[in-house]
């Protein structure tokens, strides 16, 4: 979640929020909803001086969801993907097994900000990372 300082900074800078919206909209690896696509398209063309706080917060949340994470506290995400894939059948939840299999199929060497929550949880469940990470 973005800080209020960051939200205030971006909402008052039209060049910056339009550029961010355009960049996110052009990112084809970013899996987002149709609502998010519509929002990004509108913000890319937004001609008023400022965004509302809610718009700025949503834009920064989308940015965080799209972030590509290659390193988890010094551990290579690519190696962690391989390790959890090898141990996936030890997971209790079939949905988690499916998530890991889909992630492995993509060949990605990173996870996105949106994927990080469940990826970190699975790594902890399989004892690939410590509980405090």
pLDDT, tens digit, 9 for 90 and up, residues 91-126: 999 999 999 999 999 999 999 999 999 999 999 999
Q: What's the pTM value of the predicted model, to 2 decimals?
A: 0.80
Nearest partner of 132 among 68, 92, 72, judged by Cα: 72
The 10 Å CB-count burial string (b at 16+, else e) for 68-98 is: eeeebeeeebeebbebbeebbeebeeeebbe
Q: How far apart are the first and last CA of the chain?
A: 18
CA distance 66 to 60: 10
pLDDT, tens digit, 9 for 90 and up, residues 25-65: 999 888 888 999 999 999 999 998 899 999 999 999 999 99
Helix (H) or strand (E) holding 69: strand 68-69
Is the CB of residue 62 less than 8 Å from the CB of residue 89? no
């Amino acid at each position: 979640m973005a800080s209020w300082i960051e939200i205030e900074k971006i909402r008052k800078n039209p060049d910056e929020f339009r550029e961010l919206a355009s960049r996110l909209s052009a990112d084809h690896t970013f899996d987002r909803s149709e609502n998010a696509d519509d929002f990004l398209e509108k913000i890319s063309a937004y001609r008023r001086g400022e965004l509302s706080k809610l718009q700025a917060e949503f834009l920064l949340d989308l940015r965080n969801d799209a972030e590509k994470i290659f390193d988890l506290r010094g551990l290579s995400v690519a190696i962690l993907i391989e390790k959890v894939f090898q141990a996936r059948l030890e997971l209790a939840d079939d949905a988690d097994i499916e998530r890991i299999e889909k992630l492995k199929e993509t060949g990605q060497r990173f996870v996105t900000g949106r994927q990080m929550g469940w990826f970190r949880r699975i790594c902890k469940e399989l004892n690939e990372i410590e509980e405090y990470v």
